[in-house]
Chains A and B, each alone.
Chain A
Amino acid sequence: AQTVTQSQPEMSVQEAETVTLSCTYDTSESDYYLFWYKQPPSRQMILVIRQEAYKQQNATENRFSVNFQKAAKSFSLKISDSQLGDAAMYFCAYRDTSGTYKYIFGTGTRLKVLA
């Protein structure tokens, strides 16, 4: 069965600095999708970034980028120029392409941004 592991329950970063959140996963599939979701306090969970496993190029969305290492089954999120609004719970998620409906989520990393 697929699993997603986020080993950092909590991280802190100084405003304007860069922080990297870690995520590892386990799967026997060769094609799948990986996601990072952001859940601000008392607000809706939203998609931050998405990576297709068949694409070698790392996805980037403005200040957010990923380091996707398929062989190592690693999918880390880098946030550059951190802002106070980046403070949230971040979830890493996996979904394969085999027709299942399930998204597998990690346990989350709470990011604090210090002014």
Chain B
Amino acid sequence: DVKVTQSSRYLVKRTGEKVFLECVQDMDHENMFWYRQDPGLGLRLIYFSYDVKMKEKGDIPEGYSVSREKKERFSLILESASTNQTSMYLCASSFPPATVGNTIYFGEGSWLTVV
């Protein structure tokens, strides 16, 4: 089974802190994603990466950055956390789009509260 592991399930951080959310996948997937999930808004893409050291902005990249130094690991960084970044963050991975019928696999999510 594909495993996408998010190292922190629940975090409470203070405004202005630098926050790291880590994600590791074990299926040798090229693509990795960070989504934000908020009630009534569904999943919104923050950043995605299609290869090591490659990244592209999603729909809501402001206030976030990412790092992908190794294929299996994709980190989301909040440079200076703010209360409006309180949310559930979902990491996901998949094979490239050219793979017929590929599927995106999710981690369990990281609940971040910024106080």
On A, residues with C-beta under 8 Å from B are 6, 9, 33, 35, 37, 43-47, 50, 52, 91, 93, 95, 97-103, 105-108
On B, residues with C-beta under 8 Å from A are 31, 33, 35, 40-43, 45, 48, 50, 56, 58, 90, 96-98, 101, 103-109
CA gap between A97 and B96 in the complex, in Å: 10
Whether A44 pairs with B42 at a CB distance below 8 angstroms is no
Query: Which 9 A-B pairs have CB atoms at the shortest separation, nearest pair first?
Result: A107-B42, A105-B43, A45-B106, A44-B108, A105-B42, A47-B103, A101-B48, A108-B42, A103-B104
CA gap between A35 and B31 in the complex, in Å: 18
* Inter-chain contacts of A91 with B (CB < 8 A): 42-43
* Inter-chain contacts of B48 with A (CB < 8 A): 101-102
Whether B106 pairs with A44 at a CB distance below 8 angstroms is yes
CA gap between A100 and B104 in the complex, in Å: 13
Whether A107 pairs with B41 at a CB distance below 8 angstroms is yes
CA gap between A46 and B104 in the complex, in Å: 9
Which of A35, A98, A102 is the most central at the interface, judged by chain B CB atoms within 10 Å of its CB? A102
Whether B42 pairs with A106 at a CB distance below 8 angstroms is yes
